[in-house]
Structure 1
Amino acid sequence: MLDANLADRKVVQYVMNRFGIHAKHRLGQNFLIRPDVVAAIAEAAELSDGTPVMEIGAGIGTLTQALAETGADVTAFELDQSLKRVLDHTLEHYKNIHIIYEDVLKADLKTILGEKDWHCAANLPYYVTTPILLTLIQSGLPISLFVFMMQKEVADRILAAPGSKDYGALTLAVQFDCTAERVIDIPPTAFIPRPQVTSTVLKIRRRERPAVEVKDRKLFFSLVKMGFGQRRKVFTNAMKAGGISADMVKAILEKADIDGSRRGETFSMEEYGRMADAWYELIHE
């Protein structure tokens, strides 16, 4: 059981004072001081005794503790090695926590994770949210569920619908392989120090198969890149700017029955899929 809740404001301030901790802006460090938020993340992660869960950014152990309290087997990554002396103290009573002091983007995750089905939870540093998220989703690692806290602006882009201002390449990159739902929005007052923006927790579940079955994934995402790389161009011109010949552009759009005078931001994932398959079939005729 908990001796002290590491998400309690007074406990966080005590730990910071005792160990002389100053949040490092370059590492995107902000320490949660809302037990209800930490509990919501742990609950959303769907953990039980023995569930393998990976945490990214242990900090002073706030979320790590909540994950461990579920009985899950916690493997936490922490880039800031100066926090080892803190974590050795704050998490000393937990036998189901293993901390790796390494950059998760440089770690040999295939070896570390093995063949088990993992869940993942994290309060992601804002500056590296997208690289971590896309790396984990697209790497083929055995992680079926992600519960990530991130900047609300990024979460809105992931959840966006076609034609909206937030809809973009990130939307399709996540929704192609995963479903996503909002768990909770979190104000700046929930952290020490306070960030400048609102945060959001998303629950992202890997699909059993992609949202759209395409013949060539690379062609699909090439079209997505063209469509959002120059948002103000009509899609016919965006395709030409992307290196596709005028004749091939015309053939792709006709075969897919797509109006090329629309902008890329108006196309659904299914429409990008139709164009990608048309392109593939034309290449292989």
Structure 2
Amino acid sequence: MTKDIATPIRTTEILKKYNFLFKKSLGQNFLIDRNILRRITETAGLTKEMNVIEIGPGIGALTEQLAKVSKQVIAFEIDQRLLPILSDTLYDYDNVAIVHADILKTDIMQVMAEHFEDTTAPLKVVANLPYYVTTPIILQLLHAHLPIDTMTFMLQKEVADRISAIPGTKSYGSLSIAIQFYMKAELAFIVPKTVFMPQPNVDSAVIHLTKRKTPAAEVNSESFFFEVTRSAFAQRRKTLWNNLAVRFPEIKKQKDKITSELAAIGIDLTRRGETLSIQEFALLSNFLGKFCEQI
């Protein structure tokens, strides 16, 4: 029998052995195609000199492949029922640490210090993310200021499209900007729903995020910048002015002045948010930030 976990036969055997029942609330869909897993590790560009963080290892199918090609792996699993299964399936890999924790409520730096022998090694994040918690996890990792080089995720194709979208497209929005501000996003390949157990309703995609040396644009306040971008997409069919005036009502009394001064730097408030680049949003937020301070 093949050692790889990610086959229909081996996965079924493991699930039967432990009488495991899937929890829909945890978005549990296990990969049963080892070729897809190998493509994920290739996309991540892993070597034996690199440490890896994984989120949601399930029964260890991806974890197994990560352990084969990296230095050490820390896998965060929230479902306690999976811990004995992982101890069994990953028994042969002494470079894997399974941490029973919700990564959204965990001090990741502390966990890394406890489990990685070499915390100076390049750090990658690779995961098959549950659909229901994809965005919070990615944003948490971005804002935790971890020394991450790249992140490679398999997630719902629609979300992957939004993350990698460019201005002027239907998928482009505040999520695109929130991630591309820090990372370069590349949609690597599509994963059909037929390679999962149980089979989800939609296809997935693997996206590769590479950390920028510096953010995509210069902003006076990152928190205000993201507030402006979220406001600009509050109602996609409305103009920038209409959306921003709802969030920042103090600007309404000086519409003509604001419109004129922004037009001078190339920002037309009759445009919709989806047409602005990250750099244009930076100009807009820097201007509004100073303007609101002076009121």
TM-score with structure 1 setting the length: 0.94
What residue in structure 1 maps to residue 103 of structure 2?
A: 104
Structure 2, gaps ≥5 residues long: 114-118
1:255: how far off?
4.9
Alignment CA distance shift 1:253-1:118 (3 Å): same
Deviates more, 1:115-124 or 1:195-204: 115-124
Distance 1:64 1:122 in 2: 9
In the TM superposition, residue 282 of structure 1 has moved relative to its aligned partner by 3.8
Q: Distance in 2 between matches of 1:11 and 1:199?
A: 22
Aligned residues: CA RMSD: 1.8
Deviations 1:169-200 (A, max 9, x none): 00000111000111221111100100000000
Distance verdict in 2 for CA 1:104–1:252, change over 3 Å: farther
Aligned pairs, number: 284
CA deviations on 1:141-176 (whole Å, 9 max, x unpaired) are 121211101000000011112121111100000111
Query: Take 2:223 and 2:106, find their aligned partners in 1: how far apart are those partners?
Result: 26
Match of 2:158 in 1: 153
Identity of aligned residues (%): 39
Aligned partners of 1:256 and 1:278 also within 8 Å: no
2:266 partner amino acid: D
| 8 A contact 1:168–1:265 mirrored in 2 | yes
- Larger mean CA deviation between 63-72 and 214-223 belongs to 214-223
Map 1:82-231 → 2, pairs under 5 A = 82-114=81-113, 116=120, 117-231=122-236
Q: Which residue of 1 aligns with 2:269?
A: 260
1:252–1:19 CA distance, 2 compared to 1 (3 A): farther
SS of the equivalent of 1:258 reads: coil
Partner residue of 2:56?
A: 57
Q: Distance in 2 between matches of 1:94 and 1:252?
A: 61
Q: CA deviation at 1:50?
A: 3.9
Where does structure 1 differ by over 6 angstroms across 4 or more consecutive aligned residues? none
Counterpart position of 2:80: 81
Give the whole-Å Cα distance in 2 for the aligned partners of 1:184 and 1:258. 35
Q: What 5-or-longer segments of structure 1 have no aligned partner?
A: none
Q: CA deviation at 1:113?
A: 2.7
- Higher mean displacement: 18-27 or 253-262: 253-262
Letter in 2 for 1:39: R
Further displaced range: 136-145 or 75-84: 136-145
Question: When the two structures are superposed, what TM-score results if normalisation uses the length of structure 2?
Answer: 0.91
Farther off after superposition, 229-238 or 199-208: 229-238
